[in-house]
Chain A
Amino acid sequence: MKELIEPSLGLIFWTGISFLILLFLLRKFAWKPILDAVNTREQNITAALATAEKARAEIADLTKENEKLLAEARLEKDRILADAKKTKDSILSEAKTAADAEGKRIIETARLTIETEKQAALTEVKNMVATLSIDVAEKILRRQMENKGEHEAFVKKHLEDIKLN
């Protein structure tokens, strides 16, 4: 029984030496590569997860951005259409107004021209009537020249008439 709890020096020696050699060899050839690989892999996984999360967030942002842009574009389109309609309406109404005014102006001009022409024609007719009248009167007068007093009285009377005119 005694040898059970009596440590033997030789076994301590060999165990100590072997354990230290084992520790040295395993540290160099096993623990370092294994732990390095595990740590690097864990870091990579963490980084990859973070990158994926970031990418996901970016995509979400992009989608939101796109939707915003789309909505804005739709609003812009509506606005442009509305503007165009308004412009069309205003152009139409302006054109209408302008056309009306132009028409009125043309009619007015025409009226004035007609009036002027009418006056001119009337004047001409008047002149012609006067000339004809004078001619007629002359012819009549030529025939009745013998009666001088009568003639002059007649002229006078006519002159007075003309003045009254």
Chain B
Amino acid sequence: MLISAFLSVFSVTPASANEPVSTDSTTHVTTGEGHEEEKFSPVNMIMHHISDAHDWHFFDLKGADGELHPVSIPLPVILLTEGNLDVFMSGAFHHGHSDVVKGDRTYRMDHGKIVEASGKKFTDFSITKNVASMFISVILLISLFGAAGSSYKKHGLGAPKGVARILEPLVVYVRDEIAVPNIGEKKYARYMPYLLTAFFFIWINNLLGLFPGGANFTGNIAVTLTLAVFTMIITNVSGTKTYWGHIFKPHVPLWLYPIMIPVEVVGVLSKPFALMIRLFANITAGHIIILSLVSLIFIFKNIALAPVSVGFVLFISCLELLVAALQAYVFTLLSALFIGLALEEPHHEHGAETAHH
């Protein structure tokens, strides 16, 4: 994170500096001399870092011609425009210097966003930096846990061997501290695959986001939205009669129903909404803090500030390691809690109350 932020400060500077005047992506060129006078914009730099991108950018190199050449991995662009599926590599844009023509469609890279020249609407299914980062996490998860899973076949039921030795306590932790207390001894097993997958998926992606050059995957609202929707679907699909009864037939006098039912329905939606915002905000905030601290050096243009800045960044990075695990835990814990609430069985007290009403 530290190095990536440091390197990308240089890389982003030209783009942000040009922004106020650039209308065409082709003017996206900066000379070495112009660089000196340009004002560093931390907001643009930070936004670039926490947003998704069509290529995996590492740093810029100043070429022999004195121009800055971005060093990045091109990623596949997949666009669905009016029934046509256009697939090409993002390198074809040459970092915004050239347009890509596919049939009657001309795509242009405008400040990291793809636009169609004639204003045609399209849906972007590109393998962006976040998607690529997620694929890496998926491969990591499958290889790590696949190895752990198969190690039991090899070594039997003895003490866990190899990678299982590290992962088994975590799996047991999710079971004993998250699933069982919130869902209950009887029904937790059905939800274990989802809770475990969510926990490790979020955690490993949080950690990958802390790597230098890493993507801000779990700090993207689309990702947290998807995960929160999964929790919402599982919660409501598992909802018992009692759970739905609480929403549509609350134990309140009838005249309160017009207030209570909307409140309960909002409650159904606000739970996953809170999940979505919490993870998104925590991870994005962490990235922003680190990037801001690095930006201080460039705002004050003073190398003497660097040790202070780096010290703070190191401290926050350690904190972020904790937050990475903590947010995965919180997301999983709340998911389990919501599922547990949806699974509630009628209590006898409630039954007695209804009888009185």
Q: Are A31 and B193 in contact (CB under 8 A)?
A: yes
Task: Determine whether A34 belongs to the interface, using a CB cutoff of 8 Å to chain B.
Answer: yes
Residues on B facing A (Cβ under 8 Å): 47, 50-52, 78, 113, 123-128, 130-131, 134-135, 138, 141-142, 145-146, 148-150, 152-153, 157, 160, 164, 167-168, 171-172, 175, 189, 192-194, 196-197, 200-201, 220-223, 225-227, 230, 284
- Which one of B130, B135, B145, B200 has the highest number of Cβ atoms from chain A below 10 Å of its Cβ? B145
Q: Are A34 and B221 in contact (CB under 8 A)?
A: no
Contact of B175 among A7, A12, A15, A35 (CB under 8 A): A35
A4-B51, A10-B123, A40-B157 are known contacts. Are A30 and B146 too (CB-CB below 8 A)? yes
Q: Are B125 and A22 in contact (CB under 8 A)?
A: no
Task: Determine whether A3 belongs to the interface, using a CB cutoff of 8 Å to chain B.
Answer: yes
Contact of A12 among B138, B145, B153, B222 (CB under 8 A): B222
CB nearest to B226 among chain A residues? A15
Question: In the complex, A22 Cα to B172 Cα: how many Å?
Answer: 19
Interface pairs (16), CB distance under 8 Å: A5-B221, A9-B125, A10-B128, A10-B131, A11-B130, A12-B225, A22-B141, A22-B201, A23-B197, A26-B141, A26-B145, A30-B145, A33-B150, A34-B145, A35-B189, A44-B157
Contact of A27 among B141, B167, B197, B227 (CB under 8 A): B197
Q: Least Cβ distance of B220 to chain A in Å?
A: 6
CB nearest to A43 among chain B residues? B157
Q: How many residues of A contact B (CB 8 A)?
A: 36
Q: Are A7 and B221 in contact (CB under 8 A)?
A: yes
A4-B51, A26-B197 are known contacts. Are A11 and B145 too (CB-CB below 8 A)? no
Q: Least Cβ distance of B19 to chain A in Å?
A: 14
List A contacts of B152 (CB < 8 A): 33-34, 36-37
Q: Least Cβ distance of B215 to chain A in Å?
A: 11
List B contacts of A14 (CB < 8 A): 125, 127, 131, 134
Task: Determine whether A146 belongs to the interface, using a CB cutoff of 8 Å to chain B.
Answer: no
Q: Are A7 and B192 in contact (CB under 8 A)?
A: no
Question: In the complex, A15 Cα to B217 Cα: how many Å?
Answer: 10
Q: Are B142 and A4 in contact (CB under 8 A)?
A: no
Task: Determine whether A16 belongs to the interface, using a CB cutoff of 8 Å to chain B.
Answer: yes
- Which one of B78, B146, B150, B153 has the highest number of Cβ atoms from chain A below 10 Å of its Cβ? B146
CB nearest to A25 among chain B residues? B142
Nearest first, the 5 A-B pairs at minimum CB distance are A30-B145, A7-B222, A11-B222, A27-B193, A33-B149
Other contacts beyond A27-B197, A34-B152, A41-B157: 6, CB < 8 A: A3-B113, A10-B124, A22-B201, A26-B141, A29-B149, A30-B148
List A contacts of B225 (CB < 8 A): 7, 12
Q: Least Cβ distance of A16 to chain B in Å?
A: 5
List B contacts of A4 (CB < 8 A): 47, 50-51, 221, 284
Q: Least Cβ distance of B134 to chain A in Å?
A: 6
List A contacts of B51 (CB < 8 A): 3-4
Q: Are A19 and B149 in contact (CB under 8 A)?
A: no
List B contacts of A82 (CB < 8 A): none
Question: In the complex, A13 Cα to B134 Cα: how many Å?
Answer: 12
Task: Determine whether A161 belongs to the interface, using a CB cutoff of 8 Å to chain B.
Answer: no
Task: Determine whether A112 belongs to the interface, using a CB cutoff of 8 Å to chain B.
Answer: no
Q: Are A34 and B193 in contact (CB under 8 A)?
A: no
- Which one of A7, A11, A22 has the highest number of Cβ atoms from chain B below 10 Å of its Cβ? A11
List A contacts of B149 (CB < 8 A): 29-34
Q: Are A9 and B223 in contact (CB under 8 A)?
A: no
CB nearest to A41 among chain B residues? B157
Question: In the complex, A32 Cα to B123 Cα: how many Å?
Answer: 37
A13-B125, A27-B193, A38-B172 are known contacts. Are A21 and B138 too (CB-CB below 8 A)? yes
Q: Are A34 and B168 in contact (CB under 8 A)?
A: yes
Task: Determine whether A165 belongs to the interface, using a CB cutoff of 8 Å to chain B.
Answer: no
Q: Are B221 and A6 in contact (CB under 8 A)?
A: yes
Question: In the complex, A40 Cα to B200 Cα: how many Å?
Answer: 23
CB nearest to B205 among chain A residues? A15
Q: Least Cβ distance of A45 to chain B in Å?
A: 10
